[in-house]
Amino acid sequence: MPDQDQSSATPAVELRNIDKSFYGVFANADVDFSLAKGEVHALLGENGAGKSTLCSVMAGLYRPDSGEMLFDGKPMVFKSPKDAYAAGVGMVYQHFRLVSNLTVAENLALGNPEVGLRLSQGQLEAEAKELGERYDFPVDPSARIWQLSVGQQQRVEILKLLYRDAKILILDEPTAVLTPQEGEALFRAMRMLADEGRSLIFVSHKLQEVKAVSDRVTVLREGRVVGAANTDDAEPRDLARMMVGKDLVLPTRKPNESVGDEVLVIEDLVVEDDRGLDAVDGLSISVRAGEVVGIAGVSGNGQRELAQGIVGLMKVKSGSVRLNGTDVTKKSVLAKIKSGIAYVPQSRLGMGLAPGLTTEDNLALKQYREPPYSNGPLLSAAAFGRRGAELIEEFDVRGVRPGLPIRLLSGGNLQKALIAREVVQDHSVLIARSPTRGLDVGATADVRDHILAERDRGIAVLLISEDLDELLALSDRLVVIYEGRIVGEMPASEATAERLGLLMSGEREDQSA
């Protein structure tokens, strides 16, 4: 194209000093960003770095608190995603926006102002088919969405944008749901779209993917832009360091001197996720008494399946879980509780607590089967009250009133109640997932103290988290998982931002050396 050079001088998108906060917490602060025409621009960053928020701002879903947005050099204010569509901006969200009972062609037509009142099914399908073939993205236009695989559904999302001739396509972690083969196909299509002069924003945590597909890369951390570079010039280790950022606060406390025998031993564990893919893919690890082993990794790399596989909530496909030498792999959730596995799940009100029951009831959730709570088939209301009051006092759970459903407590108090219940039962292993997530400073400190107290009394603690501060504050040993496998292991005292960042982004250590 002859005028390519001239027109590409004006960026497709330019953001200046974008701020966006939620309830007083900054998701984006002072973000400058520019997207050139015809480029694939990667946004790189950890969980919670503000990538999705920034994308949603560009797609009109959120309005920035302040700052300027220029599209093709013209300042724009989007009141809704509809305005963004009109300006040629489209986004594929992590959670698809498709109507599962409608066909592919119908989904393409949905909400498109150019489609009139009368639908011509045949014409729609022909268009959808033609569009798919042009980008080597074949989908059956008459198939209903629920019949398609996740990868195919994603193609429909992209076709939806192309059907409206979007010039700027934002793909929020598109590869997270794809198989490697589907990922390859996506990258080919992305290149093709860029070659046509469209601009693409590609969100990822994976350095390899960023290297493979993008022209430029911008790194976000804690809502701010911390670096931008041409992808070819960027060293993976530099990107990793930028992503993880600040100098890590390495643990100052002494590791536990009296580390005991192996308590929890996991060998070649394979656990399938809801889609039937091996989310935990041959993972082996052991935790000793009096040791905190931290599992680091970007979310969605098998953390949920690992935890739920160990405690029996998800089926273990192969491999074994041994507890104090006894094989408990196939045991029921109840049998595992009784054999001594305590579990602090990630979702407090979604799993760890019964939101509509009282605090006292929730404190008994794992032990109500035994005295003093139960007396044969009958419950002892007195024991619920007495034991509840003791734990509420000891663990400083505040805001409890008689008859009050526990869901009305604050996050910190919920977590204190949950941990109280888990640590007072007989157990030798504690599995905790992101236990301080969303808590304020005081509650975070309390929860950390409880976990370290567990370690000091000889419990084997497996801490699964996406928060490096939390992992470094608590772990004796760090293990990094990527796509369900262990890719690196180190004592917490030897962790560096660069090393963790590379491992979490899927770079092998030997490559980065």
Task: State which residue, 356 or 438, has the beta carbon closest to another protein.
Answer: 356
The region of 149-157, 226-234, 376-384, 497-505 touching another protein under the rule CB under 8 A is: 376-384
List 2, 117, 350, 382, residue binding another protein (CB under 8 A): 350
State the minimum distance, in angstroms, from the CB of residue 370 to another protein: 10
Question: Could you tell me if 342 and 425 are in contact, meaning their C-beta atoms sit under 8 angstroms apart?
Answer: yes
Q: Is 81 in the site for another protein (CB under 8 A)?
A: no
Of 142, 144, 139, nearest to 158 by C-alpha is 139
State the minimum distance, in angstroms, from the CB of residue 368 to another protein: 6
Amino acid at 362: N
**Quick one: angle between helices 381-394 and 411-424, nearest 10?**
110
Buried b (16+ CB within 10 A) or exposed e, 164-190: bebbbbbbbbbbbbbeeebbebbbebb
Task: State which residue, 355 or 458, has the beta carbon closest to another protein.
Answer: 355
List 4, 7, 22, 63, residue binding another protein (CB under 8 A): 63
List 99, 250, 334, 453, residue binding another protein (CB under 8 A): 334
Amino acid at 349: L
Task: State which residue, 333 or 453, has the beta carbon closest to another protein.
Answer: 333
State the minimum distance, in angstroms, from the CB of residue 17 to another protein: 18
Residues 284-303 that bind another protein (CB under 8 A): none
Of 258, 281, 311, 283, nearest to 433 by C-alpha is 311
List 26, 93, 96, 368, residue binding another protein (CB under 8 A): 368
DSSP annotation of 352 reads I
Residues whose CB falls within 8 Å of the CB of residue 449, separated by 6 or more in sequence, listed in order: none
State the minimum distance, in angstroms, from the CB of residue 353 to another protein: 6
List 9, 99, 250, 333, residue binding another protein (CB under 8 A): 333
Task: State which residue, 179 or 374, has the beta carbon closest to another protein.
Answer: 374
Q: Is 313 in the site for another protein (CB under 8 A)?
A: yes
Q: In Å, how far are 33, 56, 57, 90 from 80, measured between CA atoms?
A: 21, 10, 10, 12
Task: State which residue, 192 or 379, has the beta carbon closest to another protein.
Answer: 379
Q: In Å, how far are 55, 304, 349, 388, 475 from 346, measured between CA atoms?
A: 26, 9, 9, 23, 18
Task: State which residue, 82 or 457, has the beta carbon closest to another protein.
Answer: 82
List 17, 121, 284, 332, residue binding another protein (CB under 8 A): 332
The region of 123-131, 134-142, 232-240, 367-375 touching another protein under the rule CB under 8 A is: 367-375
Residues 385-424 that bind another protein (CB under 8 A): 401, 403-405, 408
Of 170, 220, 225, 226, nearest to 193 by C-alpha is 170
Q: Give the binding-site size for another protein (rule: CB under 8 A).
A: 36
List 33, 343, 395, 482, residue binding another protein (CB under 8 A): 343
The region of 31-39, 149-157, 206-214, 342-350 touching another protein under the rule CB under 8 A is: 342-350
The region of 22-30, 208-216, 239-247, 374-382 touching another protein under the rule CB under 8 A is: 374-382
Question: Does an H or E element contain 497, and which?
Answer: helix 497-504
CA distance 156 to 218: 27
Question: Could you tell me if 236 and 210 are in contact, meaning their C-beta atoms sit under 8 angstroms apart?
Answer: no
State the minimum distance, in angstroms, from the CB of residue 330 to another protein: 15
Chain length of the chain: 513
Q: Is 68 in the site for another protein (CB under 8 A)?
A: no
Question: Could you tell me if 240 and 501 are in contact, meaning their C-beta atoms sit under 8 angstroms apart?
Answer: yes
Amino acid at 443: A
Question: Does an H or E element contain 34, and which?
Answer: strand 25-35
Cα dihedral 439, 443, 445, 448 in deg (nearest 10): -80
State the minimum distance, in angstroms, from the CB of residue 122 to another protein: 34
Task: State which residue, 289 or 397, has the beta carbon closest to another protein.
Answer: 397
The region of 240-248, 270-278, 326-334, 497-505 touching another protein under the rule CB under 8 A is: 326-334
Q: Report helix, strand or coil for 59.
A: coil
Question: Under the rule (CB under 8 A), what is the footprint of another protein?
Answer: 63, 311, 313, 332-337, 343, 345, 347, 350-357, 361, 364-366, 368-369, 374, 377-379, 381, 401, 403-405, 408
